[in-house]
A and B are shown apart, each in its own frame.
Chain A
Amino acid sequence: MIRYIGKRLLWMIPVMLGIAILIFSIMYICPGEPAQSLLGPSATAVELAAKREEMGLNDPYIVRLGRYLYDTFIRFDLGTSYKFGTSVFAGLMERKQYTLVVALLCMALQVFVGTPLGIMAATHHNGLWDRVSMFLALVGVSIPAFWLALMLVLIFAVNLGWLPTSGVANGIASFILPCIANSFAGIASQARHTRSSMLEVIRSDYIVTAKAKGLSSKTVLFKHALPNALIPIITIVGNGMGMMLGGTVIIENVFAIPGVGRYMTDAITARDYPVVMGGVLILGLIFSLIMLLVDIVYAFVDPRIKAQYEGKKKAKKAPDVGTAKGGA
């Protein structure tokens, strides 16, 4: 297993190189003027051209790619943001804690509310509870995040005044509404996936065997059924975490949370190349690490996958001899 993880970590290098080259090429062919957003709307074309020259944006593709790769992978310098003037890495670090808080809270809500909902829906298949929770899940998925966010603000902040409307100044209170709004879709998809994979598992023979052993229905559910249904659920949670760490722009915009999502999106609209490229690289790294973690958890949960990771030689198939002493 360690060998597998080692191999995967080595694979990170080509992945990071791939991301760097891909994102650079995208920003290269991507139309739009970083100079424009820097100098403001009342800049004239002549001034813009001078600024482009000064930012070295007119050099040929290969020169700029070489310079960029050298800066990033040799000197580990992601450059400074055109708009903010601060280094990209510092910009991301300043904003990461807000995105992290939202991401972790939402993932917790997704797992600890979504999964039980899914299990209950599966165990009462086609029962009332199944219909109700599945309808809620569908509503959760199709409601646009900003709509839910603004409705929550209207009720809890403006009318009831319990919670702040936006900003991050009020400690945990300012993260309650954003997390509920942001996690609604996550809970919905978690519940749906859990229900679907639990339904698959509940009808298999080893569940009948478990029941026949006299285990209580709770033990059968949580010790035998759920572990077998985990694989798709792990994929959803892993992927969700990866996305969340990239920040959720809509929630960060509506609740004025200075997170990574807004930082990146503003950078894309303003064509702030260093921030976009640096941010994508770091988020790409985090994403690949999470995907590696997901694969490891796969192996941890399901020995058959672990066997496939370790390749053919180690996991031997028992020869069908088994004669041994044969009976008493």
Chain B
Amino acid sequence: MQKAVDAGIRNRRQGQFGQVMHRLRKNKVAMIGLVIMILLIVMALLSPWITPYDYAKTSKAERYALPSLQHLFGCDGMGRDILSRIMYGARASLFLGLMSTLAATVIGVLLGSLVGYYGGKVDNIVMRILDIIQAIPGMLLSIAISAALGSGIGNTILALSIGGVPMTVRLLRGSILTVRKQEYIEAAEKINCSKWRVITSHILPNSIAPVIVSVTMGIGNTILQAASLSYIGLGVQPPTPEWGAMLSEGKSMITKYPHLCIFPGLAIMIVVLCLNMLGDGLRDAMDPKLKN
């Protein structure tokens, strides 16, 4: 008896965000995803000390060495140990991938909720600007950014995240449009909650789901795109390893030495998998109807 009551009280005190986190912690799958993500981040941070070999040490003897005991993932075309390059490469790939996905999501959600909430003029103007931006091929945008603002991590993240913003805005706008006229939104407005509160605690939780799915799916090719940026002065310069670059380097040897591509590909897949597990968990936690 008491237990139910306490649960009830505690929930009420944490407020909405606390409840979502509370339910998220209960979701085993999401927690597995979170744990692996944390492990990967820790591995990336510690990589300079824990990689079995120096990621840049080339060796003629071990060129294209197949996975063996000394080299778990084998060696690439320059005789460098792939496992160490993946561990060290996680720094660049994870950082770039996560940061630009985060930036794209934050900007996208902000813009999307503004567009969804106000509609009418604001909606039209912002969406038309997005049409314009989305017409420009991503590569060109990145070259322009690199030319105008110079290279550097900040501009790389900007170049990588610009591509993701329009998609997030469109998705959010779509689902807000359905929710916008619901009775509970009007009710919230009638008891004159601040606009910000209406958006964050009423509109967003009920319309964020498609965005979570698209963002967690998008991280995979954000990492791949980071590789193409190194040719235009942005992103990571060789020989610092980066998963996307390792994949494109291994591309020409795909039929003869597939292990060059398999392991970086697997690394990206694991990141996408974890994020999706987390994303699903988050989305289920946000939907109170979901008890199971």
Does A touch B (CB under 8 Å) in the complex?
yes
Bitwise interface map of A from 187 to 231 toward B, beta carbon under 8 Å scored 1, else 0: 011001100110110011000000000000000000000000001
Given contacts A144-B265, A146-B251, contact A231 B178 (CB under 8 A): yes
Q: Can you list 8 A-B contacts with CB-CB less than 8 angstroms, sorted by A residue number? A: A19-B136, A22-B133, A30-B140, A158-B255, A232-B175, A284-B131, A304-B178, A304-B180
**Which of B124, B141, B181, B255 has a CB less than 8 Å from the CB of A304?**
B181
Cα–Cα, bound, A265→B273 (Å): 31
Q: List residues of chain A with CB within 8 A of the CB of B94.
A: none
Closest beta carbon of chain B to A132's beta carbon, Å: 14
Bitwise interface map of A from 239 to 271 toward B, beta carbon under 8 Å scored 1, else 0: 100100010000000000000000011001000
Within 8 A of B (CB), among A10-37: 11, 14-15, 18-19, 22-23, 26-27, 29-32
The reply to whether the CB of A305 lies closer than 8 angstroms to some CB of chain B is yes
**Which of B144, B175, B209, B265 has a CB less than 8 Å from the CB of A142?**
B265
Given contacts A192-B217, A287-B131, A291-B131, contact A232 B210 (CB under 8 A): yes
**Which of A26, A232, A298 has a CB less than 8 Å from the CB of B144?**
A26
Instruction: Determine if B178 and A144 form an interchain contact, defined as CB atoms under 8 angstroms apart.
Output: no
The reply to whether the CB of B289 lies closer than 8 angstroms to some CB of chain A is yes
Cα–Cα, bound, A158→B254 (Å): 14
Closest beta carbon of chain A to B154's beta carbon, Å: 18
Q: List residues of chain B with CB within 8 A of the CB of A188.
A: 217
Q: Output the residue of A18, A196, A284, A302 with the most chain B CB within 10 A.
A: A196
Q: List residues of chain B with CB within 8 A of the CB of A8.
A: 124
Interface residues of B (CB under 8 A from A): 119-120, 124, 127-129, 131-137, 139-141, 143-144, 147-148, 167, 170-171, 174-175, 177-178, 180-181, 209-210, 212-214, 217, 220-221, 224, 247, 251, 254-255, 261, 265, 268-269, 271-273, 276, 280, 283-284, 287, 289-290, 292
Given contacts A30-B147, A154-B255, A242-B134, contact A138 B276 (CB under 8 A): yes
Q: List residues of chain B with CB within 8 A of the CB of A242.
A: 134
Instruction: Determine if A22 and B136 form an interchain contact, defined as CB atoms under 8 angstroms apart.
Output: yes
Instruction: Determine if B147 and A192 form an interchain contact, defined as CB atoms under 8 angstroms apart.
Output: no
Q: List residues of chain B with CB within 8 A of the CB of A146.
A: 251
Closest beta carbon of chain B to A191's beta carbon, Å: 10
The reply to whether the CB of A108 lies closer than 8 angstroms to some CB of chain B is no
Chain A interface residue number, banded: 35 or more
**Which of A23, A26, A141 has a CB less than 8 Å from the CB of B217?**
A141
**Which of A23, A143, A151, A239 has a CB less than 8 Å from the CB of B269?**
A143
Q: State the main secondary structure of chain B at its contact with A.
A: helix
Q: Which 6 A-B pairs have the closest CB atoms?
A: A284-B135, A232-B210, A142-B269, A142-B220, A142-B272, A26-B144
Q: Output the residue of A14, A141, A284 with the most chain B CB within 10 A.
A: A141
**Which of B139, B180, B268 has a CB less than 8 Å from the CB of A268?**
B139
The reply to whether the CB of A308 lies closer than 8 angstroms to some CB of chain B is yes
Question: Besides A242-B134, A280-B140, A284-B136, 13 other CB < 8 A contacts?
Answer: A15-B128, A26-B143, A32-B143, A141-B272, A193-B210, A196-B210, A235-B210, A236-B171, A239-B170, A265-B137, A276-B140, A288-B128, A304-B178
Closest beta carbon of chain A to B61's beta carbon, Å: 28
Q: List residues of chain A with CB within 8 A of the CB of B268.
A: 142, 144
Cα–Cα, bound, A308→B171 (Å): 17
Q: List residues of chain A with CB within 8 A of the CB of B144.
A: 26, 29-30
The reply to whether the CB of A126 lies closer than 8 angstroms to some CB of chain B is yes
The reply to whether the CB of A78 lies closer than 8 angstroms to some CB of chain B is no
Closest beta carbon of chain A to B276's beta carbon, Å: 6
Closest beta carbon of chain A to B203's beta carbon, Å: 14
Closest to A315 in B: B181
Closest to A27 in B: B140
**Which of A134, A144, A150 has a CB less than 8 Å from the CB of B255?**
A150
Q: Output the residue of B127, B143, B174, B220 with the most chain A CB within 10 A.
A: B174
The reply to whether the CB of A147 lies closer than 8 angstroms to some CB of chain B is yes
